[in-house]
A = this chain, B = another copy of it.
Amino acid sequence: MVQVHKRSAPARKAARRPATPRQAAARKSPLDALLDPDLFKALCDPTRVSLLACLAKCGRACSVGEVAECCRVDLSVVSRHLSQLADAGVLGSTKQGRTVFYRVRFTGLSDKLRALADAIDACCPDGACGEGRGKGGCCG
């Protein structure tokens, strides 16, 4: 009885754009969750990124000691970086005896990136983006 008529009211569904940035900030969007500073914080350091690239290219789980031979920083630094990447969900870790193996969580990472890309496209207004993008699911 409340939401039956679906054409006369202009402001229904697909939640129109907020008029001002201030109002926009108040709106909840998938973006808010996906645009997670903590993930990017993990990826914003050159050393950390090189370790990630190293592990990705290697394609298998590697020990801290092995990875440490990729770059010039101290092993303790590598240990901390890998741990940070794991905290961010970018790497997974397994302990086997006294050796810790880190591996890239490929699908977890790429899925997250694609979800973010989709959420961004969904915010793209009207015809400003390619076909299939900007289909309005931006603002809650």
A52 within 8 A of B: yes
In the complex, whether A130 has a CB less than 8 A from a CB of chain B is yes
Q: Does chain B have a CB within 8 A of A67?
A: yes
Compute how far the CA of A71 lies from the CA of B24 in the bound complex, rounded to whole angstroms: 11
A: contact size bracket: 35 or more
How many monomers of this chain does the complex have? 2
User: What is the chain B residue whose CB lies nearest that of A57?
Assistant: B24
Choice from B21, B57, B133 contacting A31 with Cβ under 8 Å:
B57
For A21-51 the 0/1 string (1 means CB < 8 A from B) is: 1111101010110011100110111100110
Q: Do residues A21 and B125 form an inter-chain contact, with CB atoms below 8 A? A: no
CA distance A69 to B49 in the complex (A): 34
Contact A117–B114 (Cβ < 8 Å): yes
Smallest CB-CB A-B distances: 5 pairs: A106-B124, A110-B117, A24-B58, A24-B57, A40-B43
